[in-house]
Amino acid sequence: MSTRFVPVVTRLAALAACATVVGAALPASAGPFKKDELFVGRSIKQDPGDKTFMLGANFQVAPVKAIAKSLIKKAMDQAAANYPGGDKVLTLMQNVDQKQLDQINAASDQAAMFKQIIKQQAEANGVPITDEQMKAIDTVDAAKVKQLTQAVALLKEPESALTFSLEPWVEVNTKWVSMTAQVPIAGFKTDTDGTTLQLGNVNLDLKTGQSYGPNLAGVGWTVGVAAYAPSGTKDANAVALSNILATPKYLHEYFTYAPYAIIGAALPVITLQARGELVSMHKVRDDPTFDQIQYFNWGVSAIIDLFILNVTAELDGLAEVKNAPAMKGLIATLGTRFTLGPARLGVGVQLPVGQRETGAYAASFGGASFGDPAKVNVLINAGFSL
């Protein structure tokens, strides 16, 4: 062999040796639950070969006020249709300012004050009250006054009001345990007050589990527990009221722990999972309605894998265990996630299935609630894995 080729051969051999060492050091190839992330529920622990370290953020937004006002308007229209002259009273009330509404609520005889202010409002507008309107006004009692003033006050708020949350998180996944830390932030935006941010309950999720099978198929199990520190501010509670599944993250009065278990089956195109979780909330500050709240959250999901795109369908159910009358019903989540290398971006929609009763923390008028779960939550999550 010519001596001029010796350095080349030596270099190639060195490169081959390095490649062998690096290849041996790399973790095993993907496990059967490589793309098992869900929008709402917890998912099967992944193999470290799929994901060792990951950081990202979840974002959700609900036009709570706009939707609530739409429901209230519908309820008021229905009431007016069955209440002679009721539409006339509601029309007059929408011209009453907030100071007058407060004056009505503070009066010892609310019904009498209500009638007086409505008559004054009609005179100020130069619109005489008809006999039909007077009959409608005279039939309003104190209970109806309270409902009407609540409804009108809400109707006067900006239509563009939004409740949203931003939840940055980081996950470390080893062979035996996965640890995820999250810092929820509640946000509120209105035309008048702009955007304000409030801290939610910082939380930590620890889980362990095992999956069995090759890359394209297999089964797996996971057990874990999540804990939520009572770090949130009082105003952050509004997010818990707009998204019932986010309750432990934002009710600032409680320390919460939630043990859970998951089983799953992965096939070449679809991944199926089922979860059971007991949420136990314990009062540590302020004076909430209940010292302790417990409820069961179960969930089933299906993920259809379309290579770089997948489609996710989730169904969550809530059942009261102790002091949790608001925790009932079904919530569906539909979404799609784009995966390209280490980057993942998902967009989904969460909505209740069927009719829910008014929650324990909500006031209501005509079947529409202020503070019950929003009819629609838009979910966005993004992550980057190493």
4 assigned to some structural domain = no
- Residue 12 is predicted with a pLDDT of 36
- Residue 4 is predicted with a pLDDT of 44
- Rounded to two decimals, what is the model's pTM? 0.68
Residue 78 shares a structural domain with residue 119: yes
- Residue 374 is predicted with a pLDDT of 61
Residue 84 shares a structural domain with residue 40: no
118 assigned to some structural domain = yes
What's the total number of domains in the chain?
Answer: 2
- Residue 28 is predicted with a pLDDT of 40
24 assigned to some structural domain = no
Closest CA to 44 of 181, 222, 305: 222
378 assigned to some structural domain = yes
- Residue 260 is predicted with a pLDDT of 98
* Domain final residue pick, 103, 121, 155: 155
The CATH number of whichever domain residue 315 belongs to comes to: 2.40.160.40
First to last CA, the chain: 44
Rounded CA-CA distance 344/365 in Å is 42
Q: List, in sequence order, every residue forming a beta bridge with 378; answer none if it has no partner.
A: 61, 349
Residue 51 shares a structural domain with residue 174: yes
373 assigned to some structural domain = yes
- Residue 37 is predicted with a pLDDT of 85
The three-class DSSP label of residue 373 is coil
Residue 146 shares a structural domain with residue 209: no
13 assigned to some structural domain = no
Residue 46 shares a structural domain with residue 173: yes
Rounded CA-CA distance 232/199 in Å is 5
Q: List, in sequence order, every residue forming a beta bridge with 194; answer none if it has no partner.
A: 190
Categorise residue 323: left if φ over 0, alpha if ψ from -120 to 50, beta otherwise: left
Residue 181 shares a structural domain with residue 274: yes
In tens, the pLDDT along 97-108 reads: 667 777 777 777
DSSP single-letter state for residue 282: E
Closest CA to 186 of 154, 208, 164, 201: 164
Residue 147 shares a structural domain with residue 245: no
22 assigned to some structural domain = no
Residue 235 shares a structural domain with residue 144: no
* Domain final residue pick, 155, 186, 221: 155
In angstroms, the Cα distances linking 379 to 162, 238, 245, 295 are 14, 17, 13, 23
Residue 224 shares a structural domain with residue 75: no
- Residue 190 is predicted with a pLDDT of 64
- Residue 36 is predicted with a pLDDT of 77
Closest CA to 205 of 179, 243, 236: 179
- Residue 270 is predicted with a pLDDT of 92
331 assigned to some structural domain = yes
CA 91 to chain centre: 35
Q: Which residues of the chain have pLDDT under 50?
A: 1-29, 67, 158-159, 357-372
Residue 186 shares a structural domain with residue 224: yes
Degrees, nearest 5: CA angle 205-206-208: 140
In tens, the pLDDT along 357-370 reads: 444 333 333 333 33
- Residue 239 is predicted with a pLDDT of 73
- Residue 184 is predicted with a pLDDT of 94
> Domain limits at 147?
68-155
Please answer whether residues 296 and 318 qualify as being in contact, where contact means their C-beta atoms are separated by less than 8 angstroms.
yes
* Domain final residue pick, 121, 138, 155: 155
Residue 248 shares a structural domain with residue 346: yes
Give strand ranges (E) for 106-191: 162-173, 178-182, 185-190
Rounded CA-CA distance 316/327 in Å is 11
Residue 180 shares a structural domain with residue 79: no
